Structure 1
Amino acid sequence: MHDSFACALVLAGGKGTRMHSEKPKVLKTLLGESMLYYVYNALRPSIGDDIFTIVGFGSEYVEEAYPEMKDKFVLQKEQLGTGHALQQGWDQIKASGLEYCLVINGDTPLVSSKAVSDFLEAVKEDGADLSFVTITPKDPCQFGRVIRNKAGQVSAIVEAKDYDESIYGPVTGEVNAGIYCLKISTVDALLGKITNENKSGEYYITDLVDLAAQCDMAVTAVDCGDSVDLMGINSPYELAKAESTLRMRISEKWLRSGVIIHNWESAVIGPLVQIEPGAELTGPCELYGKTTIASGAVVQSHVRILDSIVSENAEIKAYSHLEDAKVGPECSVGPYGRLRPGAILEEGSKIGNFVEVKKAVLGKGAKASHLSYLGDSEIGAGTNIGAGTITCNYDGKNKFKTIIGANSFIGSNTALVAPVTVGEGVLIAAGSTITKDVSDGDLGVARSRQVNISRTSQKS
């Protein structure tokens, strides 16, 4: 459809004062992804790459978040209303060479690709000059009121603050959802007629409905009932409600696919996460970004995982945090384990309680069971890291690497001062501070000899 039918204009230039944020409202997140992400995601199946975005307040933040869309951003220097935003983007819309333009607000993260597709199909079937979506929610809030004539045809949309029952009659409850589809060739003549003669002093897209009706153009409204999915988000409360709705939907999807989720109402799973059937989660837990959980993997409660891979039959125990990490098959992490970016656990390796790993690789079957920090390191297969071991990888200016060979044993409370290489089959005595390389099979000891002094003789 998107090859010859419609482009899209996303309105993302507003500040959203009720969000009390220095960044644009559309960048507020739900399950780790911005509102704008969900809108783009809903549009692409029908629209493809023909998506233009109006940016204004905090435009630099939007451009930073979506650099791949930058060529199709349109700057609205002054935020003078939705109609003004449409006018700013109209040259690019006409240059697209497409027949229609879908206009949608960037603060509607619950809108689905199916809703977009269904709306465009209805527009294509009707061939209307202007179509828009209406809803009849329990609370109409500040949505524009839809006005119909005696024949039931749409004649206008009146903003809530401008609605006068003595003029327009009793409120029906039908409101404008803020999603439009405009026939570019015919609406072109109406854009210049939009005025700001209203209580807000802004230019509204909704005025196009009245203008089109006056010109006897074909105007249609697609009624979507009481669907909350099409409603914009204007406050932290509405954001939280929408996030809760998304969370439940995503959890239900994975449950139906064969994933076990204990206490599923408290599991938080982002839209980009992939989970194979047979994986087992326990809420509360949080999975965000491009995380993947393989079949047979177990994620216990109070775990937070971001952009990480958890392979088959691995176990992430309670209160562990993973970020940009790779956990191999049959591995174990935690409880209270922390894997920072660049942490790689190969098959059967183990990270125990209060162990932190950053930019380090643990070979097959290697383990660090207690109270250790391993940074900028390579640790060979089968090696055991004793409790309290740290790799001293930073000298205040530069970071250096520690290499430990296979089947070595690092005694408790050891400090490995990088750059340093410990060979294969090495034993490092507990309490040592290792500053020099240790050859294969050697014993490394670096500590003062113990001296016992009689306390009795001192007293006498």
Structure 2
Amino acid sequence: MPSALIILAAGQGTRMNSDRPKVLHELGGVPLFAHALMAGAAFDPERIVLVAGDNADEVETVAHDYDPRVEVVLQGERLGTGHAVAQTRDALAGFEGDAIVLYGDTPFIRRETLDRMAEARAGGADVVILGFEAADPKRYGRLVMEGKELRRIVEYKDASEEERAITLCNSGVVAADCETLFDLIAGLTNENASGEYYLTDIVEVARARGLRAEAVTCDEAETLGINTRADLAAAEAQLQAWKRDEALKNGVTLVAPESVFFSADTVVGRDSVIEPHVVFGPDVTVESGARIRAFSHLEGCHVSTGAVVGPYARLRPGAELAERAKVGNFVEIKNAQVGEGAKVNHLTYIGDATIGEAANIGAGTVTCNYDGVFKHRTEIGARAFIGSDTMLVAPVKVGDDAMTATGTVVTRDIEPGAMGVGRARMEVKPGFALKLFEKLRAKKAQKKGH
């Protein structure tokens, strides 16, 4: 059945003490709302609508970086969660299928949990609510059950003492047929302690119309919401613990797990080894059998089987390492492809370049790719040998089996099998160093005398 995601992200996040919208603060290297997008991807949604607040333009710009299909609508007034969902009515007009309501500040809802909600819908429930057993229910809304059916959801402010004793609590996540959802919201009132239109009240409206409501439960940890910087820090610690445990279970060796930091979307293949103090930014894939050595930073890159990275290496977006490639200490790779078995072992910058298989890049090599306005590419052929301290002034090509002499500034193409030499002629002046230092020391002594 077709599905649509509705992500509520209009909260101002005043307790974050920030000028940025709360849902743009990052968890695991990606904005909070992106976690809802990733969880909702389990439904392969045809439509995605995100409800934003005063900073809707800023949220929309970032959202489109993650999925250009996201449509952002504005909730000008904060009149409750029911009112927030109602703002998506026009955007989803005519849509036939289920709608799933998620929250931009609740990042840990799992795909498996949403699958179970979909199963409940397929089993005949008109409205499905996600609940959890709370160790300390606090001020959560309570789910009032009657056998397997959900009778109503009561907010803490409006609950009786008997209802407050219930430990089955509301996460706010809802699944229902899209047209049914909007019909139920149209029947909401704000006759409650907060004067708001509660999305949770659709359960009572549904039952009054003879519809069936059910609850699916998940672990309380999935429902963690982010309201403060402390919440964000705690969520980051939890996410990292989960990602490390997942990597270990998947056959990845973490030499010092507590020192490795993953992004939410990091993929590492089995039998890879991750040494201490490695940081993964967003969009990194490491294939099986690779080794990421200590103090390396990777983002937006792909590392193939048997490749070695680091120590102290930086792979930036667009870096592609083929099988058995080696990138060593204090090397930075950006928007470049390093061929099979090629070596870039130390003190080098490779940007906007292609390096052929089995090429050897000497220490201190720089691809001079930026002229102040445009970026230009460098192409280095298979088995080429680039001498230490070579400056490659792009656009330039070094052919297969070619080489450059140490200290060369390459300003034109080097044909296959040729050597490029481009450095100033060296002169040796006997005794000049002694005379120069004698002169300088005398000048220094003269200044001290004054």
Residue number in structure 1 paired with 2:379: 378
Q: Which residue of 2 aligns with 1:451?
A: 429
Q: Which residue of structure 2 lines up, in the alignment, with residue 422 of structure 1?
A: 414
Verify the 8 A CA contact 1:404 1:423 in the aligned structure 2: yes
Which secondary structure state, in structure 1, belongs to the residue aligned with residue 351 of structure 2?
A: strand
Which stretch of the first structure deviates more once superposed, 219-228 or 9-18?
219-228
| 2:59 aligned partner | 62
Matches within 5 A, 1:292-307: 292-307=285-300
**Is residue 335 of structure 1 aligned with residue 329 of structure 2?**
yes
1:322 to partner: Cα distance: 0.4
2:373 corresponds to: none
In structure 1, the gaps of 5 or more residues are: 394-399, 435-444
- Alignment-derived partner of residue 85 in structure 1: 84
Q: Distance in 2 between matches of 1:272 and 1:454?
A: 61
* Cα shift at 1:423: 4.0
Unaligned runs of 5+ in 2: 369-376, 440-450
What amino acid does structure 1 have at the position aligned with 2:29? Answer: G
Please report how far the alpha carbon of residue 360 of structure 1 lies from its aligned counterpart in structure 2 after TM superposition.
1.9
Matched, 1:15 2:12: yes
Displacement after TM superposition at 1:449 (Å): 3.5
The secondary structure found in structure 2 opposite 1:57 is: coil
Which residue of the partner structure matches residue 374 of structure 2?
none
Q: Partner of 2:84: helix, strand, or coil?
A: helix
Spell out, residue by residue over 1:243-286, the C-alpha distance to the aligned partner (whole angstroms, 9 max, x if none). Answer: 33333333333433333332234333334444333322223322
Residue 350 of structure 1 corresponds to 343
Q: 1:437 matched to which residue of 2?
A: none
Q: Does 1:401 align with 2:406?
A: no
Indicate the residue corresponding to 1:361 in structure 2.
Answer: 354
Cα deviation for residue 157 of structure 1 reads: 1.8
Q: 1:325, 1:344 within 8 Å by CA — same for their partners in 2?
A: yes
TM-score by length of 1: 0.79
The structure 1 residue matched to 2:215, chosen from 219, 222, 234, is 222
Question: Which one-letter code corresponds to 1:255 in the other structure?
Answer: L
In the TM superposition, what is the alpha-carbon distance from 1:81 to its structure 2 partner?
A: 2.4
Residues 187, 355 of structure 1: alpha-carbon distance in 2 compared, 3 angstrom cutoff: closer
Q: 1:93 deviation in Å?
A: 4.3
User: How far is the alpha carbon of 1:229 from its aligned partner?
Assistant: 0.6
Secondary structure at the aligned position of 1:452 is classed as: coil
In structure 1, distance between residues paired with 2:347 and 2:425: 25
Q: CA deviation at 1:142?
A: 4.7
* 1:179 pairs with 2:173: yes
Maintained 8 Å contact 2:333/2:349: yes
Measure how far apart 1:185 and its partner are. Answer: 5.8
Structure 2 counterpart SS, 1:44: helix
CA contact (8 A) 1:55 1:75 kept: yes
**Would you say the 8 A contact 1:137–1:228 is kept in 2?**
no
* Amino acid paired to 1:338: E
Task: Give, in angstroms, the shift of residue 201 of structure 1.
Answer: 4.8
CA distance in 1: counterparts of 2:170 and 2:331, whole angstroms: 50
Cα separation, 1, equivalents of 2:326 and 2:148: 68
| Alignment match of 1:326 (pick from 320, 323, 326) | 320
8 Å Cα contact 1:145-1:163 kept in structure 2: no
Q: Percent identity?
A: 24
Does the CA contact (< 8 Å) of 2:389 and 2:406 recur in 1? yes
Partner in structure 1 of residue 135 of structure 2? 138
Contact 1:157 1:210 in 2 (8 A): no
Aligned to 1:439: none
Q: Residues 161-176 of structure 1 correspond to what in structure 2 (within 5 A)?
A: 162-163=157-158, 170-176=164-170
User: One-letter code of the match for 1:301?
Assistant: A
What is residue 441 of structure 1 aligned with on the other side?
none
Q: Which residue of 1 aligns with 2:444?
A: none
Check conservation: 1:52, 1:74, Cα contact below 8 A.
Answer: yes
Question: In 2, distance between residues paired with 1:261 and 1:224?
Answer: 33
Letter in 2 for 1:228: A
Q: Tell me which amino acid in the other structure corresponds to 1:108.
A: T
Q: Which amino acid aligns with 2:80?
A: G
Normalising by structure 2, we get a TM-score of 0.81
**Which amino acid is 1:179 matched to?**
V
Which whole-Å CA distance do the structure 2 matches of 1:257 and 1:110 have between them?
20
Cα contact 2:27–2:264 (8 A) shared by 1: no
Cα distance between partner residues in 1 of 2:347 and 2:140 = 51
Is 1:311 the counterpart of 2:304 in the alignment? yes
Q: Once the two structures are superposed, what CA deviation does each residue of 1:70-119 show, in whole Å capped at 9, x if it has no partner?
A: 46433323333212112222344452133x53322122221112111212
Q: Quote the residue 2:101 is aligned against.
A: 103
The count of residues paired between Structure 1 and Structure 2 equals 427
Provide the rounded CA distance (Å) in 2 between the counterparts of 1:152 and 1:274.
40
2 CA distance for matches of 1:406 and 1:111? 52
Could you tell me which amino acid in structure 1 is paired with residue 34 of structure 2?
A: Y
- Paired residue type of 1:352: N
CA RMSD across the alignment: 3.5
Please state if 1:388 is matched with 2:389: yes
Q: How far apart, in 2, do the equivalents of 1:381 and 1:193 lie? A: 70
Separation (CA, whole Å) in 2 of partners of 1:244 and 1:250: 10
* 2:273–2:292 CA contact under 8 A, matched in 1: yes
Counterpart CA distance in 2 for 1:387 and 1:10 is: 53
For 2:322 and 2:149, how far apart are their aligned partners in 1? Answer: 63
Partner residue of 2:197? 203
**Contact 2:47–2:69 (CA<8 Å) still a contact in 1?**
no
CA distance 1:426–1:186, shift in 2 (3 Å): closer
